[in-house]
């Protein structure tokens, strides 16, 4: 499997993400945001602070040249994964439903976070049991997911809610921590699975997630 990891000015998780996918046998390449001539089975928008989170998280990154290739990849039915800032970018692009606000506390949150698996009928979480409790690191200042009532009902009706927080750390609507698109080809979550890929450091939950794409 070929994995392309997009890198914007301010991205800081691209090398961790590449390391994790290489551990499970994927071929990875880190793609600078100005590049458009690339292809992959899975395109990952890694975490960090693209363009310093100026204006609004992900709002500037969506205009980068590489995004055109990402959109073409989506039209062809390719897999996409957005992690943290990547989630924010996918929301700004409108390829996923909802919006992201500042944490309810107005403070940056960085800690291990318990999560519940809501849907495993998809490539990303197929290796988990429904309602299984896992823990992943979180690190964000704008992770407060918002959707209006109609959008929220749509997300549930189409089985697009992937993960929920236990003891909601940021005020996200209905405790939502991760979602996907209706076709279950585009996935996004605020927690960082690439930071839970080394048993020596305490967890390989992230590898279990990434193996779903293999």
Active site residues: 84, 192, 194
Q: How far is CA 186 from CA 59, 71, 170, 174, in A?
A: 19, 11, 23, 21
Question: d(Cα 165, Cα 39) in Å, to the nearest integer?
Answer: 33
Dist. CA 7–CA 194, nearest whole Å: 15
Three-state DSSP state, 58: coil
> How far, in Å, CA of 162 to CA of 170, rounded?
17
């Amino acid at each position: 499997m070929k994995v392309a990891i997009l890198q914007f000015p301010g991205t800081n998780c691209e090398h961790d993400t590449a390391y994790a996918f290489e551990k499970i046998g994927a071929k990875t390449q880190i793609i600078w945001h100005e590049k458009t001539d690339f292809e992959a089975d899975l395109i990952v928008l890694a975490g960090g602070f693209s363009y310093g989170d100026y204006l609004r998280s992900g709002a500037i990154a969506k205009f980068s040249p590489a995004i055109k290739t990402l959109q073409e990849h989506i039209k062809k039915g390719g897999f996409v994964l957005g992690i943290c800032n990547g989630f924010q970018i996918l929301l700004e692009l409108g390829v996923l439903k909802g919006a992201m606000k500042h944490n309810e506390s107005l403070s940056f949150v960085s800690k291990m976070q318990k999560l519940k698996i809501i849907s495993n009928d998809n490539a990303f979480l197929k290796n988990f049991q429904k309602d299984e409790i896992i823990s992943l690191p979180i690190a964000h200042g704008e992770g407060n997911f918002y959707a209006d009532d109609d959008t929220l009902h749509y997300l549930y009706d189409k089985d697009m809610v992937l993960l929920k927080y236990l003891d909601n750390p940021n005020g996200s609507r209905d405790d939502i921590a991760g979602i996907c698109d209706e076709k279950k080809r585009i996935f996004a979550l605020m927690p960082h699975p690439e930071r839970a890929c080394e048993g020596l450091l305490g967890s390989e939950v992230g590898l279990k997630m990434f193996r779903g794409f293999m």
